[in-house]
């Protein structure tokens, strides 16, 4: 709400600075419905490893809004998961037969993707 009420109009990280691996994130998400790690097998493939984990770098939001997240990654993800599940359940109750488990790649304009040169 603080960001929406501000006049700041540039991209900004808004998330937990807690470092989490993709495997940990998968186990966390599966835990919300009582599924264990055996429900979805992780298949490692040979190739570059990339980064070992993800987190939000919050220096900018602290400087711009004098704010930092107070909700943990687990609590925020669980709230989001439950909200999405509720929306899907409501749609199904209304007779919506849409497939909610697949997604479609949307083409973006390269100029928009490269337009991140700005000052704070």
Per-residue pLDDT of the chain (120 residues; tens, 9 = 90+): 888 999 999 999 888 888 998 888 888 888 898 877 677 777 777 877 777 788 889 999 999 999 988 899 999 999 999 999 999 999 999 999 988 888 888 777 777 666 666 555
Separation CA 32–CA 29 (nearest Å)? 6
Q: Give whole-number Cα distances, 103 to 22, 62, 81, 100, in Å.
A: 19, 34, 17, 8
Burial of 16 (0-12, 13-18, 19+ CB in 10 A): buried
Q: Which structure tokens are listed for 117? A: 């040169």
Residue 48's pLDDT is: 77
Residue 119's pLDDT is: 56
**Alpha helices, DSSP H only, in 18-94?**
22-31, 59-65, 73-93
Residue 7's pLDDT is: 92
Residue 22's pLDDT is: 83
The model carries a pTM of 0.67
The answer to whether 94 touches 38, Cβ cutoff 8 Å, is no
Residue 96's pLDDT is: 94
Residue 118's pLDDT is: 57
Residue 77's pLDDT is: 92
The answer to whether 20 touches 55, Cβ cutoff 8 Å, is yes
DSSP character at residue 5? T
């Amino acid at each position: 709400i603080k960001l929406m009420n501000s006049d700041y109009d540039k991209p900004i990280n808004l998330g937990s600075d807690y470092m989490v691996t993709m495997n940990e994130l998968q186990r966390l998400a599966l835990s919300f419905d009582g599924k264990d790690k055996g429900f979805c097998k992780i298949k490692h493939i040979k190739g570059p490893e990339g980064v070992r984990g993800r987190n939000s770098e919050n220096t900018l939001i602290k400087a711009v809004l004098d704010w930092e997240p107070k909700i943990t990654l687990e609590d925020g993800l669980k709230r989001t998961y439950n909200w999405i599940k509720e929306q899907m359940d409501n749609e199904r109750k209304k007779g919506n037969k849409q497939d909610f488990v697949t997604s479609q790649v949307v083409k973006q304009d390269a100029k928009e993707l490269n337009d991140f040169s700005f000052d704070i």
